[in-house]
Structure 1
Amino acid sequence: MIKQIQSSAVQKELSIRSETVQRIYNFYINNLFYVNRRYQRKLVWTIEEKRAFIDSILKGFPVPIILLAQTEKNKISVFEIIDGMQRLNAVTAFIEGEFDIEDKYFDLETMVESKSLLDQEKLTQKTPILNRHYCEIIGSYVLPLSVYSFDDNEKVDEIFRRINSNGKHLSRQELRSAGSTSKFADLVRKIANEIRTDTSASDILLLNNMKQISITNKQLEYGINVDDIFWVKNRILTKEMLRESKDEEIIADVLAYMLLQDIPLSNSTRLDDYYGFREDNEHQKEIESSLTIKQPELIQKQFIKVYDQIRQILVVSQKNFRELICDRNLTSMVRQFQVIFLSFYDLLIKKNQEISNYDKLISELNSITKEMTITTGKTWAFQNKQRNINKIKGIIQDCFKQKDTIDPAIDSWLTEFETLLTQSTTEQSLYDFKQGFTELNEGKQFNQDNFDKIIKTLTAMANHSPNATGYVCVGIADNDKTAKKIYDLYNVDFVEYKNFKITGITHEAERLQGNLDNFYRWIIQLIKLQPINQTTKDTIGREIKVINYKNKSVIIFSLKGGKEPTSYNDKFYQRIGSNVNEIKVSEYVELFRRFSKE
């Protein structure tokens, strides 16, 4: 009887419906599709896979049902994608001309929605154009949808896990992380995102923005080229291994070493336990307990610190990881990478040391795999793991020295800065970039208005929502023209990361205050003169970071939303897109209500 009642309740929450591709595209452009990155796999379909899906539609073949969870955001009914993200992306991407089929592109005049965007010049028609008849077939094709109305996130997690638990299309690691809400699973995912550079500021993301952090096998105008991802670029993993989330398995194994008292063995069953495949197993309890004590944020910073040092060594050596350490042709570099990483971890974090001689260290690491005696097979015994780590530490120990200060967290902003830049592509309202503080003319005078706008922008970002953090990075040119102007005036070139042109502010600091240290202290004094309350002044001043990114000094201002809105000159502002707008008095009630909910 209970099962009948439960089944009946589920049926009321579940509806089966069909929508044409044109209707689906209408939902898409009206921002009705959301992705929860906590349980969704990466957006990794290749162009070939997308073409194959469009070809199925053209031929009228049946396609798998798309599973959506209907919920509400900002008082609007929207859909969270539980299963079918790759298919929805393939359809919308083809309509918008992101790829062709048999060398022909979708005719944007076929559908009202795409024609409207074409007329507004928001889309560009690519040629040659696919025959209108075939485009109409695509637009009228009916996609099957299963829509689940929910008010409980745990139900959605359980549905996602169940629909994938017996599937063959997900890798073992993807099955582990599907719907897992443990601290360990969340930490692995966050670190993996940082290293792959497909990170986002929020777990809930519009499908429209997912393409900015999609992983592609071709160089497109957006997204992440798989050949540039650390694991593939350094020939630690193949592209296919990355698609199967083998990078997350490496991270999970390394984290287990960092978190557990005894050195763990490595195999698939043990990873299953960490993710809770078997309920109430001792390995999951131990690793979750350790994370609670050591704090996920600190462990993440320690991991990225070690990762940054390895990256720095590769930059100096001008070799990829395999070229540096390998003296023979190995089919896998997974265990070799872990040995190097954990050797560095023991020295940098456990012993609180720092690298003292990069050239000698690179020399010692050159072809160091000949010193390793790593076993093969599905299980990597803890004895063999420890023996290799100890041996490598003994070889490279003389290249490190004891640090004068205790800093168990982080020294470098190399990866964190790149993460911040990447996140800005999907959460534009919380990020802003300025080339500098001076006028770009022969006078090179300090621009007080621009400085005021930086502080005002921070207060507007803080009004986004409680606990939302806004960032303004100074030292990044917004386009090629600005970068060239800086070069003409200061003879300063830029370094590039994902179309961001990083010029730094050292040239301005030296002109205005003699050096970077004096300039930093001067900026702190300028903040104290701003028309904001004392708490906000103290917070902005305390959180300012001057980071060095590839020999370019960048200043990062940040401000986190508090328990109530933040004013600037007795007025309240909010950031919509790249604009800072004053909030009308009539909107104050809604503004304060937003913060009172926290």
Structure 2
Amino acid sequence: MSANQNLSINSESIQNVYSTFIKNKFIANRRYQRKLVWSIEEKKAFIDSIINKYPVPLVLLAEEGHGNKKYYEIIDGMQRLDAITSFINQEFDIGGEFFNLDSIADTKLLKDNDSLHQENPPLSREICAEFANYPIPISIFQDGSKDQIDAIFQRLNSGGKHLSKQELRQAGNTSKFGTIVRKLASEIRGDSSTTDLIELSEMKKISITNKKLKYGISIDEVFWIKNQILDKESLRQSKDEEIIAEIVAWVSLEKTIRSSSDILDELYGFDQNFTSDETRALSLEINSQIQKINELNLQENIQSVFDILIELISISGKTFNSLIFKSPQQKITRYFQIIFLTFYQLIIEENKSIKDKEKLAKALSEVGDRVISLSAGGGNWSAREKETQIDTFSGYLKKHFKRSDVKDPTSKTWITRLENLITQSSTEQTLYDFKVGLHPFEGEGCQDYKPCISKIVKSLTAMANTDPACIGYCILGIADDQKTADKWASVFSKDCIKIDNSNFFVTGVIDEANKYQKNYDNYFMNICKSIQSEPISERDKSYICENIQSIKYYDKELVILKLESDKSPSIYGEEYFTRHGSSVKKVKASEFHSLFSKFK
């Protein structure tokens, strides 16, 4: 693929498009790309149009990078490119038949080296060859700034046919408000990523899909759908982000505001007609307040309250909808906000903690029928009604809370954050490691935990050498396959917790700590002491020890160790290591220049 001017429009055969795809040169930017890929039915309909030689819409790309490191950021057409490449990669059929891998050179080579497996029955080679030669109209935008690309994207979708109103507000929005809403919404859905730029080939691993697709995150397991707060179409329209945006605004601003579409526009400084460059006053105010509170603290506080609600819902054994109503109701987003904001007020603003989670879960039963009383209808939602209902519900719940002895009572609850780390590890395997614990399951050496700590620390230095400004994680208390989880369960006679949409099982470390090191306090202290004896730089020792976290996933205690890359590569002993997938490899002397040049 090539572009010789600031904007070039040409046609590329599907064969050339696929060749670019397998070289990982198509990049999705999550600042404005949709979070939901097409359903299997939509993918099949698009492929059928190509087979029948119907015209298809233009794909718009922005060329980025220099020299041999060029890639193409997808501005419009991600769903179409994904449908084409997924069909060729045997992920779905057309009329019961699959793309014939012998039709083009790239797929035949992948088939011959066992990178792709031919599903049966295959389509005829003639049909597949015609499909591969079909010309896709492509426009490539060169040398554009981020602002220009964002503007093109918004104008392209300003008619509302492609994107919802909320997606247009979020598209390319880099304000503190827009960023925190986007990050929180992604964390709650479970489709977060460590970076905004993701290879198209990796995008499907964190995409929300329907049951008929074998990859990604099942839409039925997304918090909003699972708890019957939103329906699938509302999630497609990003109504979850509107809920998050209203929550962020309410807990951030020093004044109360009503809820409406025009207020959301003002919070984002969004002007759909592109007639003014002036930032709205409310947008300036919300971003100023977020800066005062600290963006990271605000995000962690909101996410922690979500985690507490998730835990209470789990204890009840019901969905959110069936918990707060005797008979499940439609359109309950306002009820969710009242309950969430009341919990936020009690836990974060008043620094209270829950006395008994099981009793509180029971107290939430049918509160939508008995305690909270909201007026019907859409459109504007008055600030006065919100305040009144929060005060009423707070009064009802207060007997289940007590003054917290801990400065931050939510700091250990990590339900959504842990699940998102698991998801992110599928696209960034190099930066994540998971272990059930420090001690071998059996044998004479099962009392000795230090070899495992040495292995972890060496792996963390290898992760830190991946790139500048990257962070490597090792999480203790997680089995990354069924076999390990079963072995742990047999040794400790306890059950694991399987994480949805993954092959990971949470074991926790308490049982291991009690068995081998008397208690968890000794276990945690010994980790810190052992790290101080490791042959790494004082900077790396300080970073690992200062950032060790003890977190809770439901009733399981876990330990997170991490290391961020420094201004130069991290050394272990007198050697340097890098990580390739899950393997740690020693850097040869001939590779030193390449390693150090990355940190210049």
Give TM-score, length-normalised by structure 2: 0.94
**2:374 matches 1:374:** yes
Paired position in structure 2 for 1:286:
285
Equivalent pair of 2:157/2:168 in contact (CA under 8 Å): yes
- Which 10-residue stretch deviates more, 302-311 or 152-161? 152-161
- Which 10-residue stretch deviates more, 487-496 or 308-317? 487-496
Question: What CA distance in whole angstroms lies between the structure 2 residues aligned with 1:485 and 1:254?
Answer: 43
What code does the residue aligned with 1:260 have? L
CA offsets, 1:219-263, max 9 Å, x none?
A: 543201101100001000000000110000000011110111111
Paired position in structure 1 for 2:398:
397
Paired position in structure 2 for 1:481:
483
- Which 10-residue stretch deviates more, 521-530 or 399-408? 399-408
Q: 1:98-137 residue pairs with structure 2 within 5 A?
A: 98-137=91-130
Residue 500 of structure 1 deviates from its aligned partner by 0.7
Question: What CA distance in whole angstroms lies between the structure 2 residues aligned with 1:342 and 1:306?
Answer: 9
Equivalent pair of 2:166/2:238 in contact (CA under 8 Å): yes
- Which 10-residue stretch deviates more, 89-98 or 463-472? 463-472
Note closer, same or farther for the CA distance 1:320–1:74 as it changes in structure 2 (3 Å cut): farther
Paired position in structure 2 for 1:515:
519
Paired position in structure 2 for 1:525:
529
Note closer, same or farther for the CA distance 1:533–1:313 as it changes in structure 2 (3 Å cut): same
Residue 197 of structure 1 deviates from its aligned partner by 0.3
Paired position in structure 1 for 2:88:
95
| Equivalenced residues, count | 587
SS at match of 1:180: coil
Paired position in structure 2 for 1:6:
none
Residue 405 of structure 1 deviates from its aligned partner by 2.7
Residue 329 of structure 1 deviates from its aligned partner by 4.9
Unmatched runs of 5 consecutive residues or more in structure 1: 1-9
Residue 581 of structure 1 deviates from its aligned partner by 2.1
Note closer, same or farther for the CA distance 1:11–1:287 as it changes in structure 2 (3 Å cut): farther
What code does the residue aligned with 1:113 have? D
Question: What CA distance in whole angstroms lies between the structure 1 residues aligned with 2:159 and 2:319?
Answer: 38
Residue 480 of structure 1 deviates from its aligned partner by 2.3
- Which 10-residue stretch deviates more, 561-570 or 86-95? 561-570
What code does the residue aligned with 2:496 have? F
Question: What CA distance in whole angstroms lies between the structure 1 residues aligned with 2:327 and 2:509?
Answer: 44
SS at match of 1:173: helix
Equivalent pair of 1:495/1:550 in contact (CA under 8 Å): no
Question: What CA distance in whole angstroms lies between the structure 2 residues aligned with 1:117 and 1:248?
Answer: 40
SS at match of 1:481: helix
- Which 10-residue stretch deviates more, 494-503 or 172-181? 494-503
Residue 94 of structure 1 deviates from its aligned partner by 0.9
Residue 151 of structure 1 deviates from its aligned partner by 5.2
Question: What CA distance in whole angstroms lies between the structure 2 residues aligned with 1:151 and 1:567?
Answer: 39
SS at match of 1:302: helix
Q: 1:420-431 residue pairs with structure 2 within 5 A?
A: 420-431=421-432
Question: What CA distance in whole angstroms lies between the structure 1 residues aligned with 2:67 and 2:459?
Answer: 23
Equivalent pair of 1:14/1:149 in contact (CA under 8 Å): yes
Give TM-score, length-normalised by structure 1: 0.94
Question: What CA distance in whole angstroms lies between the structure 1 residues aligned with 2:67 and 2:460?
Answer: 23
Equivalent pair of 2:577/2:586 in contact (CA under 8 Å): yes
Equivalent pair of 2:453/2:527 in contact (CA under 8 Å): no
Question: What CA distance in whole angstroms lies between the structure 2 residues aligned with 1:365 and 1:504?
Answer: 28
- Which 10-residue stretch deviates more, 441-450 or 474-483? 441-450
Equivalent pair of 1:43/1:85 in contact (CA under 8 Å): no
Paired position in structure 1 for 2:274:
none
Equivalent pair of 2:454/2:534 in contact (CA under 8 Å): yes
Residue 484 of structure 1 deviates from its aligned partner by 2.6
Question: What CA distance in whole angstroms lies between the structure 2 residues aligned with 1:445 and 1:119?
Answer: 48
CA offsets, 1:144-169, max 9 Å, x none?
A: 10001125222211211121112412
Q: 1:239 aligns with which of 232, 238, 252?
A: 232
**2:321 matches 1:322:** yes
Q: 1:332-343 residue pairs with structure 2 within 5 A?
A: 332-343=331-342
Equivalent pair of 2:548/2:561 in contact (CA under 8 Å): yes
SS at match of 1:147: strand
What code does the residue aligned with 1:330 have? Q
Unmatched runs of 5 consecutive residues or more in structure 2: 272-277
Question: What CA distance in whole angstroms lies between the structure 1 residues aligned with 2:405 and 2:450?
Answer: 39
Q: 1:159 aligns with which of 152, 155, 167?
A: 152
Paired position in structure 2 for 1:5:
none
Q: 1:462 aligns with which of 445, 451, 464?
A: 464
**2:140 matches 1:139:** no
CA offsets, 1:388-444, max 9 Å, x none?
A: 111111111111111113227633112211111111111111111223323343443
What code does the residue aligned with 1:414 have? I
Equivalent pair of 2:412/2:550 in contact (CA under 8 Å): no
Residue 467 of structure 1 deviates from its aligned partner by 2.3
The CA RMSD measured in Å over matched residues stands at 1.9
Q: 2:579 aligns with which of 563, 575, 582?
A: 575
Question: What CA distance in whole angstroms lies between the structure 1 residues aligned with 2:560 and 2:356?
Answer: 30
Question: What CA distance in whole angstroms lies between the structure 1 residues aligned with 2:46 and 2:315?
Answer: 44
Paired position in structure 2 for 1:537:
541
Paired position in structure 1 for 2:275:
none
Equivalent pair of 2:305/2:410 in contact (CA under 8 Å): no
Question: What CA distance in whole angstroms lies between the structure 1 residues aligned with 2:570 and 2:329?
Answer: 57
